[in-house]
Structure 1
Amino acid sequence: MRFPGFDEPWKAIHLSDVGEASSGFGFPDAYQGEETSEIPFYKVSDMNLPKNIKVMQQANNYVSQSTVKKLRVRPFFEDAIVFAKVGAAISHERKRIALSPFLIDNNMMAFTPKQKEDLEFIYHLFQKIKLSKYSQVGALPSYNASDILDIRTFYPTSGNERKKIVTILSLVDNRIEKQSEIINNLKKYKRGVFEAIFSRKLRLVSKEEQRDWKIFKLSDFASRIIRKNNGTTDIPLTISAQYGLIDQRDFFSKVVASADMSGYYLLRKGEYAYNRSTSNDYPFGSIKRLELYDKGAVSTLYLCFSVNENVMVNDFVKWYFESSQWYRSINEICAEGARNHGLLNVPTDGFFNTTHILPTDTKEQTVIATFLSLIQEKLEISQKGLNKLTELRNGLMQQLFI
């Protein structure tokens, strides 16, 4: 895709033709820093580094703004693209920044364009280049300054064309950033509303209609499911934080269930499964309702149940188990040290005897479920908007760069 008025071919270059790369003691303007408090201090947390790069995550706390004066720092001047040596362009700055020697010597490098006005264009260009092709041999991709400078690519001859490409990509990037902020704010709002509703700080019915909430055992409104699959369905289910109960083939791109699922539990739409495996997002495991399929099979390691809708509205129960209010009751029946390889030791009888403070009025339950569904719907619409913007950006990157 070309902009009108630009038809001259792009030229083949080495990156050394348009900039300089440096790392470690090769950084420009290295010196024993004394007066560095006015220089923005660049921390690992400011960089979108891969979570699996542990040394970089640990480096986050290596030095603080308060101690930067005590360290030998090597500041960049403005107009530099900052890299992680594991390969991704992570920031481009038009301001002076300071890095600790630890980051510089172990993890960081910089690319400084020869023409300052090309900073943003080269930043986008790096995102197009598949740097993994140029990595050193090792457990993780690794790059030296010479690797970066030797990369061959295509470059627009016209500076005006480079500016137009930057303009359109920057517009999309700004929109993606704003959409991400919207989603993060919605998630914070959702967490706050959940906390307020299930702690009874927020009531969604009028004062005249409010009824006391009372303590229910899970067995008061739920019945355990132990029906065997016996070949009824070939859909092996797993629990996903984002998608709930989902076909393993869609989630893992393979089946991790046993070849013979006849002994698995058969779950029908609207019924629940409790996965006792812990994670950062679900410290007491997760309870999800089957919504994507009419039926599916789950491992007998899961605790499954259906809801008695004469006592509790099913949609309300779904949202209750999306909150963290039920964690307290699980925590009470987990023996100390019960976590074994991430699997909680929650006995079946104990699970169904857990207590939960819930509204007795089905009208209030329905109002709560409807309100929380609207928040979730807004969040999902916003996420779809972000996905569309990301697809648009990826498409533009494919079409604007050779």
Structure 2
Amino acid sequence: MPFVRTQNVRDGYFSVENLEYVTRDFHKKNKKSQIFNGDVLIARVGANMGMVCAVENLDTEANCANVIIIKNNAQLNSQYLSLFLNSENGQKQIHSGGAGGAQAVFNTTLAKEISFPYFPLEEQTKIASFLSAVDEKISQLTQKHELLSQYKQGMMQKLFSQQIRFKADDGSEFGEWGKAKVGNITETIFGYPFDSKEMVEDNNGIPLMRGINIGECHIRHSFELDRFFLKDTSKLEKYFVRVNDIVLSMDGSKVGRNSAFVTEKDAGSLLVQRVCILREKENTNIQYVYQWIISKEFHRYVDQVKTSSGIPHISGKQIQDYEISYPCLEEQTKIANFLSAIDQKIEVVTQQIEQAKTWKKGLLQQMFV
């Protein structure tokens, strides 16, 4: 019989992936922990303690461990209850334990004390159906995002391996490609070794570009992350980030995993040690180089050469020695424009997903104040 654990209770949905199984005898002996479609589960312990879902997609009854079971009944729509318990109000009650203290384990006594807006079943069902439609829209957008990402990866592989070639504007064929090291086709600049004592949180200074500011293809700003430099910068001119620079983190858990971006409006920051700039040279399109830097080929290269003891990192020489296929500037530009257009579509879908999630969150807050 299927055996449900806390990892099967996800944030608002029931996951049937990685189910364990128990004998029928075990299942029959443990009647209190039997679950059925329509029950609502709350994870009691672990990293996802407090996550809630309604049970669905079970082909048979099942058993479970380390979850609170709210049994299906005729007065409650299970999806409605799950939506409330996943709302800000519901989560606040779960994580406060109903008594204000932090709870490492959630239990049935605390679950019984949760209060929620109670409507007639018909209205509960209408609310659940409406918000389920929002979830379906988010799911569709997420699938679209995944398909676009897969399409881009496939096109990158075909373009970089020359299975697909562009032609010149006059219809003629471009010449043969060569090979080039990143250090030969870009100007590589490595960050200045600032002393941590020179970094302040006074935003009247010059912002510093540190590895922690570099996210997956974007820069991250926040009060907790940003640091500034207040002293004379006249001798640090070469370390200033310019528009259209590739900024690449050289260490951290995500090194070589999209821990890079091309500056658009974040110029003016000072580059800190363990962060490098790849700057455009003549006959090089920096956006073409960037597509290589965020490619799976670069990921594999970094996995081969990075130092993994302590904090994973790569050296400046390893970045400079990374070799890419190198067509003429015009073909580089066509490839970069094509892939950047896909990136823009992916970004639009990403924003639509975030907007839908924000809208849903706002609806939940208004419904379940």
Q: Secondary structure of 1:378's partner? A: helix
Structure 1 residue 351 corresponds to structure 2 residue 313 = no
After the TM superposition, which residues 150-299 of structure 1 pair with which residues of structure 2 at under 5 Å, given as runs? 150-156=113-119, 158-205=120-167, 209-225=173-189, 234-238=206-210, 239-246=213-220, 250-251=221-222, 253-256=224-227, 262=233, 265-279=239-253, 281-283=254-256, 286-299=259-272
Preserved CA contact (<8 Å) 2:39 2:55:
yes
**For 1:305 and 1:391, how far apart are their aligned partners in 2?**
36
Q: Secondary structure of 2:71's partner? A: strand
Give ranges in structure 2 of 5+ residues lacking alignment.
28-32
Tell me the amino acid that sits aligned with residue 26 of structure 2.
R
Cα distance, 1:43 vs structure 2: 5.9
Preserved CA contact (<8 Å) 2:288 2:333:
yes
Partner of 1:33: none
**For 2:290 and 2:336, how far apart are their aligned partners in 1?**
8
Deviations 1:68-93 (A, max 9, x none): 44882353133201221121213333
Preserved CA contact (<8 Å) 2:247 2:262:
yes
* Count of equivalent residues: 336
Cα distance, 1:111 vs structure 2: 0.6
Structure 1 residue 362 corresponds to structure 2 residue 329 = yes
Q: Secondary structure of 1:274's partner? A: strand
Preserved CA contact (<8 Å) 2:190 2:275:
no
Task: Report percent identity of matched pairs.
Answer: 18
Structure 1 residue 303 corresponds to structure 2 residue 266 = no
2:77 to 118, 124, 128: 118
Cα distance, 1:372 vs structure 2: 0.8
Rate the CA distance shift 1:223–1:236 in 2: closer, same or farther, 3 A.
same
**For 2:112 and 2:137, how far apart are their aligned partners in 1?**
32
Give ranges in structure 1 of 5+ residues lacking alignment.
1-35, 51-59
Cα distance, 1:376 vs structure 2: 0.8
TM-score by length of 1: 0.71
1:323 to 295, 301, 305: 295
Cα distance, 1:189 vs structure 2: 2.1
Q: Secondary structure of 1:236's partner? A: strand
**For 1:168 and 1:141, how far apart are their aligned partners in 2?**
34
Rate the CA distance shift 1:150–1:261 in 2: closer, same or farther, 3 A.
farther
Deviations 1:278-336 (A, max 9, x none): 42x5457844322232321121222333120x2211221222211132345556655xx
Partner of 2:30: none
Which 10-residue stretch deviates more, 69-78 or 354-363? Answer: 69-78
Structure 1 residue 148 corresponds to structure 2 residue 111 = yes
Rate the CA distance shift 1:396–1:138 in 2: closer, same or farther, 3 A.
closer
Tell me the amino acid that sits aligned with residue 322 of structure 1.
I
Cα distance, 1:259 vs structure 2: 6.5
**For 2:255 and 2:63, how far apart are their aligned partners in 1?**
36
Rate the CA distance shift 1:119–1:94 in 2: closer, same or farther, 3 A.
farther
TM-score by length of 2: 0.77
Tell me the amino acid that sits aligned with residue 148 of structure 1.
A
Rate the CA distance shift 1:150–1:171 in 2: closer, same or farther, 3 A.
same
Cα distance, 1:48 vs structure 2: 2.1
**For 1:169 and 1:178, how far apart are their aligned partners in 2?**
14
**For 2:122 and 2:226, how far apart are their aligned partners in 1?**
52
Tell me the amino acid that sits aligned with residue 283 of structure 2.
V
Cα RMSD for the two superposed structures: 3.6
Deviations 1:232-284 (A, max 9, x none): 971222443335344xxx245343566759487321111233322142x5457
**For 2:313 and 2:25, how far apart are their aligned partners in 1?**
45
**For 1:282 and 1:385, how far apart are their aligned partners in 2?**
28
